[in-house]
Structure 1
Amino acid sequence: MEGGGNLDAAIESLLNVEKQMRLAGDVSGTKKAVTDILQLCFEARAWKTLNDQIMLLSKRRGQLKQAVTVMVQQAMQYIGETPDIETKIELIQTLNSVSAGKIYVEIERARLIKELAKIKEEQGFIAEAADLMQEIAVETFGAMAKTEKIAFILEQVRLCLDRKDYVRAQILSRKISPRVFDADTSKEKKKLKEGENIVEEAPADIPSLLELKRIYYELLIRYYTHSNDYLEICRSYKAIYEIPSVKENPAQWIPVLRKICWYLVLSPHDPMQSSLLNSTLEDKNLSEIPHFRLLLKQLITMEVIQWTALWNAFKDEFENEKNMLGGPLVEKAAEDLRQRVIEHNILVISKYYSRITLKRLADLLCLSVQEAEKHLSDMVVSKALVAKIDRPMGVVSFQTAKDSNDILNLWAVNLEKLLDLVEKICHQIHKETMVHKAALKV
């Protein structure tokens, strides 16, 4: 095969054999002829001829599906042997064009696109790599392994985040249900066949399901960090914290648990935040970081928190997060932490006071009257609190306005209590009277 003429002659001979086998409908013979042609081109390192033969063989009249499949699979093994990046890209593009629109080689095409996108990313063309990956909808591939599907979609999400396309990243991430990570993999192996569809084994470089779970939630953290959605960031860290490999290693779970505590404190007060706060406080591992247990305890205690004292106590811990696993907190975290402390203090004050002057409220919050009024108004608008401000009088009322039905119900309850008390008093008077009558008879 040293001379080009010998190669061409050998290929021509094999093409005649391939034609006879194809017309005769001999599947195994056609596959053998096709693979032999590709092997000759590869051994001669004739990359251009290899590309030409792949295109030629795929377009021959009545070409068998099995022959196209085996040809694409064999040529994919040669991608790693190409002498330079240009040859590699050309071979991938040839195989991509051959497999386009053919369901029986859809998995191979997805892997080719992933390989091409990786090359584009290494060259610095992240937007182009993201566009390439978005062409493939692997969630519709019935024969692809579940872990490979998830890994492919996660790669799509990552590239969208890298190009700062957060809307598309969110849409793609919703293709993965969090419940899929809790599936029992041992049972799944027994269900590899459904009808005639055989699920292929995932390649060796695809991570395990639990590792994919971690990657999934780390990508979600990147997405939610962009929108400063602290509660969702906290829930994502909580999911990572529940992974067995993380929970067994203190070097991994301590930084994650610290992040859970910080983002719980940063989250606005609502039922979900309150539920997560109480469940985290019940975690025995929290005793390993007592400073954070104290921080969470302050949030559930109905007492006013002094911001200056809190910040002085936790400033060093806050700064240390930059050096911990998972990176620093978001940029405006310190400002939002102060906001959460003020909101907590206003909620505490509303529990103890039905009416309070704005000046007294501002003193308790260590703010100016204008700042106190602004924070209170923001909480009322977000429906975290019910309050009314009488600005001319400078008085805040935390009492809820009652409609006529509530007033009547309250009156009826009070009247019922009054009648119960009258009945008890009559009973006591009657009892005392009977006792005294008995004493006089004696």
Structure 2
Amino acid sequence: MDSGGDLDAKIEVLLNTEKQMRLNGDVAGTKKAVTEILQLCFDARAWKTLNDQIVLLSKRRGQLKQAVTAMVQQAMQYIDQTPDIETKSELIKTLNSVSAGKIYVEIERARLIKILAKIKEEQGNISEAADLMQEVAVETFGAMAKTEKIAFILEQVRLCLDRQDYVRAQILSRKISPRVFDADTSKEKKKAKEGDNVVEEAPADIPSLPELKRIYYELMIRYYSHSNDYLEICRCYKSIYDIPTVKENSAMWIPVLRKICWYLVLAPHDPMQSSLLNSTLEDKNLSEIPHFKLLLKQLITMEVIQWTALWNLFKVEFDNEKNMLGGSLGDKAEENFRERVIEHNILVVSKYYSRITLKRLAELLCLSIQEAEKHLADMVVSKALVAKVDRPMGVVSFQAAKDSNDILNSWAMNLEKLLDLVEKSCHQIHKETMVHKAALKV
């Protein structure tokens, strides 16, 4: 009891000192008084008194901004030294309420909320943690370091993905431009000061920009895996593959390159997929995994692929990728793989034939006539192919319907070619006649 009374007496003396300093506008003196009050409470391990004093000091009339900032920063150092989770949560909530709505302590508030959200997550309250994190719009904080902002937004995205809120995860992820990871950090330091606004240093536990880039794309892979958007997943892995720290270590880039190859194979045929496929085949590192080079080469070679032979060749590799730690190939991947091979085969047939019977097409694809027609129709609907099916005759035509202007243009071209040939023929006949006449005169 004596020690409690002694603490109260010391605090009372310091409160009077703080009042005098504050009324005199002495910034240094006020800051010293408030931090000493908090230090006394902390030394005595009087956590309730500490919380009460923080609230009391922040609400005093005409309290200086610098004093509130110093007080919040001082109290934040005590968070890790609290005896239990309840005391820790109470102290964070007190500091949170004190810093709410105050721009000069917005960074401290963001850090406090991040700590509180982590506690909630550890307790299993992922929804509460996600809601807490979304209260803070760090992208508007001018004084916060760029890496800390990115790390905070990535944490918001991760929590949304953990509670399967994919719409909000996408909205939050758009706050980060992928170009920010390629920025030159050496130039950033020169622009740190803008007027009176000094950009704070990021805390030591914030990852570097290349590491944040990897985390960002891993989260985006989780997002795109939800909708089985294989091409976007492939592009995310390609971005991870291009990180210098990954590319320097073969143990890191080989698994990533394998996934790039698989997702390229699973992605539906379109110009972006073709471009990525060709650029990946040109990569010298692909020679380290020749099995995958063979797979990609088969997809760009204009020859019909035998599905059963291909599946027997790559089934073990495919299953390994699915079962590997961190492997994100979906349950429908095998079915999608077969669909891609069928699509490739239909495109090959369309290159070589202008017209083909459905029966012959089904034979080439190793499918029933109904399945072949279904896959062909799906490709026409997705505009990957131009084709017409004459069902009564059972004939497929791969020739595109021509516009009336195109038909007229082709006629004009044909007439021009015909007249050109007639003119050349007349010229040759005239030449032969002249030569013959000259020979007769001799």
Q: TM-score, normalised by structure 2?
A: 0.98
Q: Kindly state the Cα deviation for residue 432 of structure 1 after the two structures are TM-superposed.
A: 2.3
CA distance in 1, matches of 2:433, 2:279: 58
Q: CA RMSD in A?
A: 1.2
Contact kept? 1:256, 1:326, Cα under 8 Å = no
| SS of residue matched to 1:142 | coil
CA distance in 2, matches of 1:435, 1:331: 80
Q: Match for residue 212 of structure 2? A: 212
Q: Match for residue 315 of structure 2? A: 315
Q: Match for residue 146 of structure 1? A: 146
CA distance in 1, matches of 2:306, 2:83: 67
CA distance in 2, matches of 1:233, 1:326: 13
CA distance in 2, matches of 1:431, 1:283: 58
Q: Match for residue 403 of structure 1? A: 403
CA distance in 1, matches of 2:45, 2:434: 120
Q: Kindly state the Cα deviation for residue 403 of structure 1 after the two structures are TM-superposed.
A: 2.2
Q: Kindly state the Cα deviation for residue 225 of structure 1 after the two structures are TM-superposed.
A: 0.3
Q: Which runs of 5+ in 1 are unaligned?
A: none
| SS of residue matched to 1:264 | helix
CA distance in 1, matches of 2:423, 2:119: 89
Q: Kindly state the Cα deviation for residue 414 of structure 1 after the two structures are TM-superposed.
A: 0.9
Q: Match for residue 187 of structure 2? A: 187
Contact kept? 1:42, 1:78, Cα under 8 Å = yes
Q: Kindly state the Cα deviation for residue 325 of structure 1 after the two structures are TM-superposed.
A: 6.1
CA distance in 2, matches of 1:325, 1:249: 19
Q: Kindly state the Cα deviation for residue 420 of structure 1 after the two structures are TM-superposed.
A: 1.5
Question: What fraction of aligned residue pairs are identical, expressed as a percent?
Answer: 88
CA distance in 2, matches of 1:404, 1:329: 47
| SS of residue matched to 1:389 | strand
CA distance in 1, matches of 2:385, 2:153: 41
Contact kept? 2:225, 2:328, Cα under 8 Å = no
Residues 27-426 of structure 1 aligned to structure 2 (within 5 Å): 27-322=27-322, 324=324, 326-426=326-426
Q: Match for residue 18 of structure 1? A: 18
CA distance in 1, matches of 2:314, 2:391: 36
User: What CA deviation, in whole Å up to 9, does each residue of 1:57-106 have, x standing for no partner?
Assistant: 00000100000000000000000000011100000000000000100000
User: What CA deviation, in whole Å up to 9, does each residue of 1:157-187 have, x standing for no partner?
Assistant: 0000000000000000000000000100011
| SS of residue matched to 1:3 | helix
Contact kept? 1:47, 1:87, Cα under 8 Å = yes
CA distance in 1, matches of 2:6, 2:197: 43
| SS of residue matched to 1:164 | coil
CA distance in 1, matches of 2:44, 2:227: 55
CA distance in 1, matches of 2:421, 2:102: 86
Question: How many pairs align?
Answer: 442
CA distance in 1, matches of 2:29, 2:185: 39
| SS of residue matched to 1:392 | coil
Q: Kindly state the Cα deviation for residue 441 of structure 1 after the two structures are TM-superposed.
A: 3.2
Contact kept? 2:347, 2:385, Cα under 8 Å = yes
Q: Match for residue 441 of structure 1? A: 441
Q: Which runs of 5+ in 2 are unaligned?
A: none
| SS of residue matched to 1:416 | helix
User: What CA deviation, in whole Å up to 9, does each residue of 1:171-230 have, x standing for no partner?
Assistant: 000000000001000111111011211000000000000100000000000000000000
Q: TM-score, normalised by structure 1?
A: 0.98
AA at the equivalent of 1:385: L
AA at the equivalent of 2:205: D
| SS of residue matched to 2:389 | strand
CA distance in 2, matches of 1:343, 1:430: 56
